[in-house]
Structure 1
Amino acid sequence: MALDLQEHFQKLDIEPDCLPFCPPDNVERRREKFDEVPRYLFRIFTPKSQGTTNEVWTKSKDARSSVRSKVATSMIDIFARDNKEETAAMLYRHLRWWKGPDDNLVSWTSSLLFALIYIFNLHANSRDGSAFEDIYLCIIDTSNFPEHVFLRDMDLIRAYRSVNQDLRNFESLRMRKRRGFSGYFYFGEYFSQGALKIKDKCQIVSSRRLIEHGLYCIRPEFRNFANWKRMENPPWANPTVELREGFYCTNDKSKEISAEQLQVALNIAQVFEQRWRLPIAVNMIAMTASRSRDERVLAAFRENTFTDYDRENCSPWRTKMLGHETMPEVQEYCSLMMSIYTDYCLRTLMRYLEEAKGSVCAIAKFIIKENLFQDPTPEEQDLITGDVHYTDIVNTLRSISSFSDILCACLDHRMERGDQR
């Protein structure tokens, strides 16, 4: 018994926090793409999900298994597995949401729209049927994890398509439009593998709370989805493509976000902790398929609800955003994040410039008041001054003027490149 307990505690001590994807040399040429992971990813799960997710861990079906051999296998990188055909078959089953003897992948998505529709899929699914209070949304910040912990579905598909015809067909499906619609069957799926420790890097909220805070106002179609009859395979991909149609309207036909939708997006964001509020609010607004360059929208993100740190994180250098053309809702999210960041930068610059202008005006008023623009008297020329001379003042003013010219040139160049705001 003592030995068993010792072995158990040793296992707990060495359990890795993550299992990175490590491609072999023949896949290494695509390694740079493995870094193309957006900062925020979403996952929907229930107590009946094949894997398990909580505030500490998210684990694949194999990693949560009570069978010791399964757990051991779950610690092996997918690229290190010997049987490529079996691995490819496991990947295909996971992509099709089919159950099988093994599955070491955990799915995430960069599309909150796609994630939220899955809530209603699970609610209506006869194999799950969880109540809304038992269906959870998890958001994670991928910048808090080591490199290569997440991998885009298309990159993994392309690594194994040579040994599996089904994967080749599935890759074609992902790049195909639905007949009669403008949207594609691509949903921004990403994988982690095995056990991933997400403690302090995530927040989990029940879908019931989202609904209570007005989710149906964001997309009224969600209310209809909530009433889907119980069935074995409820829709998921098709409704996502259908809800994307509004994004393909021309600017003159696109609508403005309603005051109610804007307020609801902000209300839903308040369900989350501070660091998640801005990306959640932006995603909610983006899902409405409204014109994002709306002064009311930008004004909402200037409020004290959000901090300057939040607004600075809208920068594409701090928050990696991948708006593939096949995902208009994510493109809209990226556009709005950039608009918020640009608005923040311009307003901050103007505030600093107004402060500088005030200081220069104060200098001018002081010079006039003290008649310092006139020629010095003979008495002044013989005075002994301290460690500050007129030459120092003039040189400082010239430095400020030169620095201002450089800043103007930089901003002129930016305006010439297309940013006229």
Structure 2
Amino acid sequence: MPQLFEPKPGQENLYIFDKTPTYLFRLHVPRSKGDTSTVHVMAPAFLGRTAYHRDGLPCGEDLLQLPTKIATSRLKDHLRWKCNHLNKSPCNLMSWSSSLLFLLQYALHRHTTDFEPKPQFPNIKIIMIDTRDFPEQTFLRDLDALEWLHEDLDAEFKRLYNNRNGRFYFGEYLTQGYLDITGKCVEMTMQQLVDGGAFHGYLSCIG
């Protein structure tokens, strides 16, 4: 059973769980945080979920059950890629996108701009799942979480909300803890996509 997002009493209407896109995609490379395979998607905090975060609460706590200030801090760390620097306070969230086009562009970005050794196409993988195979509250839209938290918060968080609520929106969804995807996913490498002609027009334009 996946770790569901469970709103606090009275906050149920803040989240739109019944309109999750049918298909979600996740890109991963060898250095991606957590563990992603065709068996599971596991957040960095899962193995130590009962250990205490720097904020004093268990690392594996449901995001929506956390006090607002703590939830804000953890969400911001995840969305701003700051979890990599937290060492003993691992993140319990993993990201997906409803936009395959965005992830294809992101894959090219990782291939060209990551620190050495840059991930090569055979090692850049995209997983697709059908969200109908999972309980309704498995996936949380980033904008719903940001909408819940952004009103009373710092300027950086408000900028993050405003950017994602505008032209920088790329359909991000979150899962937390451990998600078993055995027999519920399809995975392809960027090399397979290139060999299949998915990038023929684009790659010819950039030389």
Measure how far apart 1:81 and its partner are.
2.2
Measure how far apart 1:64 and its partner are.
4.9
Query: How has the CA–CA distance of structure 1 residues 75 and 97 changed in structure 2, closer, same or farther, with 3 Å as cutoff?
Result: closer
1:122 aligned to 2:107?
A: no
Residue 44 of structure 1 contacts residue 135 of structure 1 at CA under 8 Å; is this kept in 2?
yes
Read off the aligned partner of 2:77 and give its amino acid letter.
R
Q: What pairs with 1:386-397 in structure 2 (closer than 5 Å)? A: none
Read off the aligned partner of 1:134 and give its amino acid letter.
N
2:94 alignment partner in structure 1: 106
- Equivalent position SS for 1:220: helix
- Equivalent position SS for 1:35: helix
Q: Give the structure with the larger helix fraction.
A: 1
| 1:274-311 deviations in Å (ceiling 9; x for gaps) | xxxxxxxxxxxxxxxxxxxxxxxxxxxxxxxxxxxxxx
Residue 93 of structure 1 contacts residue 100 of structure 1 at CA under 8 Å; is this kept in 2?
no
Greater gyration radius:
1
Residue 138 of structure 2 contacts residue 175 of structure 2 at CA under 8 Å; is this kept in 1?
yes
1:175 alignment partner in structure 2: 165
Read off the aligned partner of 2:96 and give its amino acid letter.
W
Read off the aligned partner of 1:144 and give its amino acid letter.
D
Measure how far apart 1:121 and its partner are.
1.7
Q: Where does the alignment leave 5 or more consecutive residues of structure 1 unmatched?
A: 1-16, 177-183, 228-421
1:192 alignment partner in structure 2: 175
1:76 to 58, 61, 73: 61
Q: What pairs with 1:14-53 in structure 2 (closer than 5 Å)? A: 17-31=1-15, 33-53=16-36
| 1:53-90 deviations in Å (ceiling 9; x for gaps) | 1111101121255x8626993542111224x3232122
Q: Where does the alignment leave 5 or more consecutive residues of structure 2 unmatched?
A: none
1:208 aligned to 2:197?
A: no
Measure how far apart 1:27 and its partner are.
2.0
- Equivalent position SS for 1:159: helix
Residue 110 of structure 2 contacts residue 119 of structure 2 at CA under 8 Å; is this kept in 1?
yes
TM-score by length of 2: 0.85
1:410 alignment partner in structure 2: none
CA distance in 1, matches of 2:204, 2:145: 32
Measure how far apart 1:203 and its partner are.
1.2
Q: What pairs with 1:321-400 in structure 2 (closer than 5 Å)? A: none
CA distance in 1, matches of 2:19, 2:13: 14
Aligned residues: 198
1:153 aligned to 2:147?
A: no
2:79 to 88, 95, 110: 95
TM-score by length of 1: 0.44
2:124 to 124, 128, 135: 135
| 1:87-125 deviations in Å (ceiling 9; x for gaps) | 212211221223342311111111110011111122121
Measure how far apart 1:29 and its partner are.
2.1
CA distance in 1, matches of 2:52, 2:40: 17
Measure how far apart 1:126 and its partner are.
1.1
Residue 62 of structure 1 contacts residue 104 of structure 1 at CA under 8 Å; is this kept in 2?
yes
Moved over 6 A (4+): none
Range with bigger deviation, 97-106 or 194-203: 97-106
Query: How has the CA–CA distance of structure 1 residues 169 and 54 changed in structure 2, closer, same or farther, with 3 Å as cutoff?
Result: same
- Equivalent position SS for 2:174: strand
Measure how far apart 1:147 and its partner are.
1.3
Alpha-carbon RMSD across the aligned residues, in angstroms, is 2.4
Q: Give the structure with the larger strand fraction.
A: 2
Range with bigger deviation, 163-172 or 195-204: 163-172
Residue 123 of structure 1 contacts residue 132 of structure 1 at CA under 8 Å; is this kept in 2?
yes
Query: How has the CA–CA distance of structure 1 residues 53 and 204 changed in structure 2, closer, same or farther, with 3 Å as cutoff?
Result: same
